[in-house]
Every structure is written in structure tokens, then in C-alpha cells.
Structure 1
């Protein structure tokens, strides 16, 4: 989670520090963390309109919930926040079957713009199609290779909503701002399943859950050399990008402790430094 957030925001930060590089070879970044930050680092808080939120809220209210879908919603044992409470989610596939999924493709420079099925103006499309295709057709410089240029997945016929293309294609020419685009539809088989969800409450408040996280992960970073301290201080003020002996030493100190998420070349830890709590992210 932290890695995705850092990479999403890191380009601007690096612009002045590492000219010509898209991303540094090493990183150490410490951000001050309150209870909400700590809780958020090891849980997800889905949008109330999302499917994830609906199934968890239903399981909380009814003891369990079910859904049909083409894949799992959660990682194994993932903790989900609903309101101020935190729940560990169990997701079990109870049945597997096959469905048909669809994709709509657009040719921006068709050799033939004559409609075989019919033509429709973009503004006359149902909302289900405008939402999916609007970003594609509004590109200032759309691709113009041979054949169909772009496509977008529509999912199953049920997921496609009131589309005029899926599952039965009613038009093959789309008119947008005077331009005539050819539309094609692809279908393929895909696996689907029935899923059952059960939840176990981990904590009833942000503070209570944050305390659980602290009990497991929090450690004190102390006893640093002057060079190590300079690396840490730089990481608090912004981020540290130099691969020095002091940097390696600090990272080794972090890796001596259990991390929230530690992979082969990056990780996230919860630490205390000079009486303040930080979420530390490192790449090495």
C-alpha cells in the first residue's frame, strides 16, 4: 500500500534531486503517523458505494454475505474498516461456473465508415456506454493504427448495464463531434464464482485498532551514529535517496524488526524516533 502511494507521488519529489531518472535506486522516507495513519496502513477503507463495502457491511449486519463475481475482492485475512470499526474478512468461494465477458473496441480511422448495423451519436448513448467510452473518444490525439485501436472491458451482460453494444450489438458506427468511428464487440468465456463472506471484529475504534498494530509492529529506533542520524533526519524532512553506508546501516536496523509489509527490495515499518511515531518506507 505504502509503495503504491510513494511511487504515485515520487516523481515530482525526485525532479530536482535526481535529474533524468524516473525513480531513485534507493529511498528512505519517514512520515509522522497518528492513530488514523497507523490504522490505515494495515487496513482498507472501501468507498461506501463499492462492492467491497456492501458485502462487508452486509456480513456485519447479517452474520454473513454472498456475492457472484469473476474474482476475489480481498486478500486473505484482509482487515476492512466500516465506519469506525475494523473487521477481518473471510472470503470463501463456494461454487465455480463459466460466464461470457465482453469488450468493446473502437477503430478511430476506419477505411469504411458505412454502418452495417446502424449509427448512433455519442450523446445519444446510454449512460453505461458514455461512462466507459467517453475517455477514449475524447482523446485529443487518438491512435490510428491498422484495425481496431483501443478497447474497454464491459464484463458480463449483467455488468454491462443498459449498453447498446453488449450483449447484443445494435450499432457499429459511433459519431463523436463529427467523427465516425467503427465499433466492434468481442466476447470470451471466463470463470465466475459464488463467494461467501464472514467477518470478525478486530476493534471498535480507530484508537483501539491502532494500539493493536503498535503492539505488534512498533519499535524504537535509537542508538544511531551521527551519519545514521543525518540519514533519518533527511528522511523526515523529505526523503533520502543516497546509497551510502549510513543508509544501508539504517535499513539493516529496520530489517531487524518485523515490518508491516516487507518484500525482497522494499518494505514498510512502524517506528518511534525521538518520542514521535513514524511510518517508514524504504527501498534498497
Structure 2
């Protein structure tokens, strides 16, 4: 365990994840869409939802709250539905002919939401030495019904910004998958409001310690680190106290907690002995 005294600016940098307003990242785009709409759904073949929920539930696996366009949000997973999904691979070729070509083509702006999401990062394609760029997307039944890409390609090309990009449906496959439903909650509009929210939802008082537990905390503060083992009963009981509270960030083995001890605030990094069982 490590105990680091923290000020407001350090607390903000440790407790929040910043999402750029003008992001072009396909990985961050679903997060942005959830924040901007208040709700969002994402199809995946994985039983592990991404992004993970960020809610102050004791003992849960959480990601940090999010800062976006000057405000602060939590992103929570509200529902998971098992269903069959269609996995589609679409190949996009670099523009070679003008948009008034007679070949059957569709305007990008008229595509369904799912089709436009699938092609967003590939138009224009960064093919380099390759002849085409492949994109993979998962469609549920409703999205298949609205699509012009799957289950059969209805057009030979997509037109975007005056350029014509040939498209080809390389493959489709039915797969067992999951639809994850997310909601975003705005928890603060200023830094001060967010710090107050953190103290209300994450900070806990480290009081009522036994002599042995108090010595562990003192060493973690004064010596920068305390190292125990599986047979260290005081360290185990102290770890149980941390694990019963929401973490600023946590995975299966480690986490960061926001605590106040003897009137001072700390970020406590902990790898509990329970993680080795």
C-alpha cells in the first residue's frame, strides 16, 4: 500500500479521464455519443462490456468519471441483452472516379446510423500499400433491416465530400453476441462541483484503526510504501476496509482510493493480499 497526500489539482488529474471534444478515435466515439445523447447502445461479441461502467458502487470494477467539454459525467451500464449478431466485413477502396460516375452509389449522409458508424473511420481509406481498407462491424436485427451494406450490398460505392469510394461486402457471419445499453449522467459542471461530488461519493474516513492497522498506515505515509503478505492479518483487515468502498480506479488486483486520515486527504494505492488468493 502507498499513501500519497493529495491537493485538489492532483485529485482532479488522478480521478478523472478527459475525453477530447473533437476526437476522431473509434474507441472513444461511443463514449462521446453516450454523453451527447444521454444514452447509447453498443453491439459486441464479447461478454465483457467496453467501456466498463463508471459508477460509485462499493467493490465494483470501475473506470474513472469522465470530463468532456468542461463538464463531468459518469457512464453506467444499464442493461445487457444476449442476441444473435451479424458480423460484417466491408472493404473500402480509395476514390478513383468522380462522384457523378454512373456506377450505383449512395450518399454517405443518407446511410443508416449503423452503416455510417461502420464506414466513418474508413472514408477516406488509409490504404497505404494495400488495395483496400477493411472495417468490421456488428449488427443486430433492427440494424440489419435498416442497412444497405448487410446482409447484401445494395450499392457499389459510397459518396462522401464529393468523392466516390467503391465498397464491397467481403463476408458476413451470424454470431452469438451482446447488446450493451449505457447511460451518461452529468454530475458536475465546474471543477469545484466535481471535487465536492468526489468527496461525497468516493472519499471515506480512515478512523477506528487498531494499533497494528495504524502502524501500517503510518509506514505507508512516512516510508512511501508498506509491504505485507498473505499472513498479515492487520493488512488483510485494513484491505477489507478499502475494498468495501468505491475506488477511483480499480482492476482485479489493484486500485486507487480517496481517503482522509487524521485530517489530511490521500490517494491510497493498494494491492491487497486478497488479490493473491
TM-score normalised by L of structure 1: 0.47
TM-score normalised by L of structure 2: 0.48
